[in-house]
Structure 1
Amino acid sequence: MARTTKTKSCSSSRKKDAGKTIRGYKEAMDYIFSHTDYEKQRLLRYNITTFDLTRMYRLLKEMKNPEKGQNFIHIAGSKGKGSTSTMLARMLEAGGYKVGLYTSPHITSMHERISVNNKHITERQMTALVREIKPAVDKLAKENIQPTFFELLTAMAFVHFKNQKADYVVLETGLGGRLDSTNVVQPLITAITQISIDHQRQLGYKIEQIAKEKAGIIKEGVPVVTIDQDENALEVIKADSEAKNSPLWITGVNVDFSSRFESSREDGPHTRICVQSETSKFEHLKVPLPGDHQALNCGLALTIIDQLKNLGCEIENEDIVKGLENVHMPGRMEVVFNEPTVIVDAAHNAASLRALIATIGQHIPYDSLIFIFGCNADKDIHGMLDQLQYGADKVIFTRSSSPRAISPDELAEEYNELTGRMCQTSLSLGDALKIAGSAVTRGDVICISGSVYLVGDAIKRFNRIKEAARANAAQQ
């Protein structure tokens, strides 16, 4: 094991917290958030100093390695990780298994990240976990080894899944894969969703570099599942799988896969897939989430199920179908308001935005499409703005609550230079909605996208509007 790497942080506050007893939920959250949170840093370096697995290994060792003995399915990728993970979890749950699911980032609440059988971790459970890990964290602090927020949350998830006696754990990476805090487990299967340009400052500006980071989760002899995707990315995955003697299954190549879009009176617009693998055959299976990209994600999840069957997992096809029917993903093509129609979608790279625009066109008729858009400074801004010009009839740039958010004026300037088209800016989501509301007609659609933070802000806002409407209705 490599030498322990130390990170710089506010050591004085940690010393003060070290002897403090966690009495309740607020203190537990204060303790967790007092640690370095890379998700909130505007400029983030991706190297073995900031992303150091040695810290994670040391933390887990002090906690007596709660991850040992658990059945992990480890999933990386640029887009589709959350959807694939959720579909896989729902299918396994319908088969009678207890399934832990770890995802990031969250949409509206941190509790979304850790769940067992579709039940988010509770405040009481979260508080108990912080109390449980704190002695180990404080012991490391005496050596000036300071785990990050994400490392602590990942370790807490491992403990929670162990405590809950989960049969399987679907584990989604945070950033990249090779240096991600989740990459300390020995999984049953590794899976890689679609790879596209994203987080270039951290992962690289070429898709081969990004693929190399994602493929870093591949383990010696462990089956790898992916989809037929960009040729250069796929070559990297193939090379890494071969180097580690890991059998590779590619949905759409050595696993038969096809999809088609259709519309019916009963189901409306939707996609159906056919998948034939070693253990199963599905014909015209309805994909629970809209969009061609979700058909690929669904096919990938079914291929993972196929490999789990080869490892002894017993699940009937009827349970698989039932599990897919239970899939719901907040913040993915979610209609949060009617009259006018307001959609939120956490598309945060160019490929996701292109898929979103195509999916809206397939599923929702409209006269004009108005985008309220904001994103973080470390994204492929040029690529995302390029996609916007082909789908949006009107664009309003705003900023989310993320510390890494780029200013609306910078977005507008680059958009104008790139496209020569007019746009508007707003410093807040509320003002952006007012601008959109003044221009929208009955046949128009407003779409809020570009950032998970912005989508989270929007969902909270519209939930408050709905709650106020219900309260007013109850008083009348």
Structure 2
Amino acid sequence: MNYQQACDWLNQHQFFSIKLGLATTRELLAELGNPQDQYPIIHLAGTNGKGSVGATLLSCLSQGGYRTGFYSSPHLVSVRERFCLGTQWIPRDEFTDIINSLDLFLHDRTHPTYFELTTIIVLLWFARQKADLVILETGMGGRLDATNVVTPLLSILTDISLDHEQYLGDTIEKIAYEKAGIIKPGVPVVFSGRDRAALPTISTQSKQQQSRLYLLGKDFFGEACDGGIEYTSLCGTRQRYSLSLAGAHQVVNASLALAGLDVLTAHFPLTIDQIRTGLAQVVWPGRMELVSHLYRGKKIQVLFDGAHNEAGVMQLAESLSQGYPRNRLILVWGNMADKVMAPAFERILACADSVILTRAEYQRSAPAESLFARLPEPVQTKACCLEPAARALQFALEEANEDDLVCVAGSLYLVGLVRHILNDGVTSNG
């Protein structure tokens, strides 16, 4: 197979199928020599913030000269985004080579799902690359997530809130139980602990596993200051840093990453200057990402945010209400059909002067008309439905003036598609 055929082969493996359980991944990795045992791992779980914490750790550790891998999901445009070593995606030829090997290997075996396959691919690739350290982000949940076949050096749990209730449970306590599944015997845990309903579950699991639990606001602290963060470390020292990622919630995410670096300092020491540079250079596309786009002589500000659940949309609403000066807010919105986030969505709608409903080109995307039908009647007067996403984007850019802000949100799939359209199909890493 060539590269495109390799991508097609991977896409055939139940792209939107969700199969919770470790048996398939564990069995296949064992036959492949358990590549995940060849390097230390930071395991990330949580509802929101995993990607930002992972990207921050990647940037700081790379500044320290460590060959650091990062596995994240979903991708915005190219599947290769999921597999990073430092700032580089997996090369096309190496991706294709691993796919060809797996095609032969799986010939007479039960085929795994898309996410199980990408997990196996990345664990194999990091072993081939002799990574010094790997940051592994769960796809969903934790206890039964395909990534949970590893025994990490550190576990980090970000904010926990309602999401994927049909799979993880309909209460914070049930979801926390699933996330706590990544806690392993004797492995230290860093947790934001901001949702008090989740804290007892995480604390209990940590005690049962005899894992030291480090809590934000108790063992380490992070406060917003001058557009950055004042961080108080596990040993009580204070330091101020600038942050490159936008949004008040990034103070929490940066604090979790810094606490993780504190825990690992004996294994992967960093200087203050390396951390400072790393924090200032974090890049996490599609999350509170502000770009300037020239459209027919107008310089239009476009804000991309992949907020796709109640907590994420609320964070976006808070950021829009507190910052981003503009005359009008033009919202381009589309979400997955299985997402229900009414209170937060209503707050976003209240911020918007114009609402353009659309959909990403995926099976799970909600049709624009169905979203329109759920809008309160007063909001319907300032809303319209336009599909496909390219047409919605064009309409927004034509309507916008230079002092307006276009915000694209509701789904990472929509954000990835619109970013791709906006950049004429050209991505920075090819």
With normalisation by structure 2, the TM-score equals 0.93
Partner of 1:67: 36
Distance (whole Å) between structure 2 residues aligned to residue 301 and residue 418 of structure 1? 42
Structure 2 gap ranges (5+)? 294-298
What is the CA deviation profile of residues 316-340 of structure 1, one whole-angstrom value per residue up to 9, with x for unaligned ones?
A: 1211111112211111222333422
Deviation at 1:439, TM superposition (A): 3.8
SS in 1 for 2:98: helix
- How many residues get paired? 422
CA pair 321-437 structure 1, distance change in 2 beyond 3 A? closer
Q: CA deviation at 1:466?
A: 8.8
Query: For 1:100, which of 40, 63, 69 is the aligned residue?
Result: 69
> What does residue 363 of structure 2 align with?
403
| Local SS of the residue matching 1:309 | coil
Partner SS state of residue 285, structure 1:
strand
- What is the distance in 1 between the residues matched to 2:418 and 2:39? 37
Aligned match of 1:314 = 269
- Whether the 8 Å CA contact 2:334–2:409 is kept in 1: the answer is yes
Query: CA offsets, 1:350-372, max 9 Å, x none?
Result: 22122223223444211221111
3-state SS of the aligned residue for 1:221? coil
Deviation of the 1:66 alpha carbon: 1.0
How far apart, CA to CA, are the structure 1 residues paired with 2:39 and 2:425?
A: 42
Given candidates 290, 299, 302, the residue that maps to 1:335 is 290
**Quick check: 1:57 aligned with 2:26?**
yes
Aligned to 2:98: 129
Picking from 252, 256, 267, the partner of 1:300 is: 256
Question: Is the Cα–Cα contact under 8 Å of residues 36 and 148 in structure 1 kept in the other structure?
Answer: yes
Question: Per-residue deviation at 1:380?
Answer: 2.5
CA-atom RMSD in angstroms: 2.1
CA 1:420–1:447 in 2, change beyond 3 Å: closer, same or farther? closer
Does residue 241 in structure 1 map to residue 206 in structure 2? yes
Q: Equivalent residue for 1:453?
A: 413
C-alpha separation between the residues in 2 aligned to 1:33 and 1:108? 13
Aligned counterparts of 1:111 and 1:420: Cα–Cα separation in 2? 39
Equivalence for 2:219 = 254
Q: What is the CA–CA distance in structure 2 between the aligned matches of 1:454 and 1:405, rounded to whole Å?
A: 9
The one-letter amino acid paired with 2:245 is L
| 1:344 counterpart = 2:309 | no
Q: 1:382: how far off?
A: 2.1
Cα offsets for 1:206-257 (capped at 9, x unmatched): 1212211111111111101011311001222112111211110012222133
Q: Percent identity among equivalent residues?
A: 35
Aligned letter for 2:239? E
Report the Cα distance in structure 2 between the residues aligned to 1:418 and 1:71, rounded to whole angstroms. Answer: 54
Pick one of 362, 365, 376 that aligns with 1:416: 376
Q: Determine the C-alpha separation between the residues in 1 that align with 2:211 and 2:139.
A: 23
User: Conserved in 1, the CA contact under 8 Å of 2:221 and 2:255?
Assistant: no
Within 1, Cα distance between the matches of 2:347 and 2:143? 29
Distance apart, 1:106 and its partner CA: 0.5
Q: Which amino acid aligns with 1:36?
A: Q
Which of residues 13, 32, 41 in structure 1 aligns to 2:10?
32
* Equivalent in 157, 161, 164 of residue 199 of structure 1: 164
The structural deviation recorded for 1:421 is 6.4
Contact 1:336 1:459 (8 Å CA) reproduced: no
User: Which one-letter code corresponds to 1:276 in the other structure?
Assistant: S
Post-superposition CA distance 1:402-452 (Å, at most 9, x none):
210011111111122697764221122233234434543332111000101
| Structure 1 spans left out of the alignment, 5+ residues | 1-21, 45-49, 263-269, 468-476
Say if 1:84 and 1:301, in contact at 8 Å, map to a contact too: yes
> 1:81·1:193 contact (CA, 8 Å) conserved in 2?
yes
Instruction: Find 1:289's aligned residue among 245, 250, 257.
Output: 245
Is the CA contact (8 Å cut-off) linking 1:336 and 1:462 kept in structure 2?
no
Does residue 170 (structure 1) correspond to residue 173 (structure 2)? The answer is: no
Provide the residue aligned with 1:429 in structure 2.
389
Change in 2 beyond 3 A, CA 1:308/1:440: same
The question of 1:355 aligning with 2:315 is answered: yes
1:213 aligns with 2:191: no
The 5-angstrom pairing of residues 39-50 of structure 1 reads 40-41=16-17, 50=19
2:194 is aligned, of 197, 218, 229, to 229
CA distance in 1, matches of 2:425, 2:321: 27
* Paired letter, 2:314: R
- Supply the distance in 1 between the matched residues of 2:193 and 2:362 (Cα, whole angstroms): 33
Q: Deviations over 1:92-117 (max 9, x none)?
A: 11111110110000111111100111
* SS of the residue 1:68 aligns to: helix
Q: Are residues 1:117 and 2:86 paired? A: yes
Quickly say closer, same or farther: Cα 1:306–1:126, change in 2 above 3 A.
same
- Give the Cα separation in 1 of the matches to 2:61 and 2:229: 20
The CA distance in 2 between the partners of 1:417 and 1:248, in whole Å, is 48
Q: Cα offset for 1:51?
A: 1.8
1:72-102 deviations in whole A, cap 9, x for unaligned?
Answer: 0000111111110010011111111110110
**Aligned counterparts of 1:321 and 1:241: Cα–Cα separation in 2:** 31
Moved more, 437-446 or 160-169: 437-446
Alpha-carbon distance, 1:384 to partner = 4.0
TM-score normalised by structure 1 residue count: 0.84
User: Cα deviation per residue 1:259-300 (whole Å; 9 max; x = unaligned)?
Assistant: 23x3xxxxxxx232222222x734221122111101100000
Asked if the contact 1:200/1:378 (under 8 Å) is kept, the reply is: no
Q: Which is higher, the Rg of structure 1 or of structure 2? A: 1
Amino acid across the alignment from 1:379: K
User: Alpha-carbon deviation of 1:465?
Assistant: 8.5
Determine the C-alpha separation between the residues in 1 that align with 2:378 and 2:327.
25
State the AA in 2 paired with 1:389: L
Give how far 1:383 is off: 3.9
Q: Distance in 2 between matches of 1:223 and 1:56?
A: 24
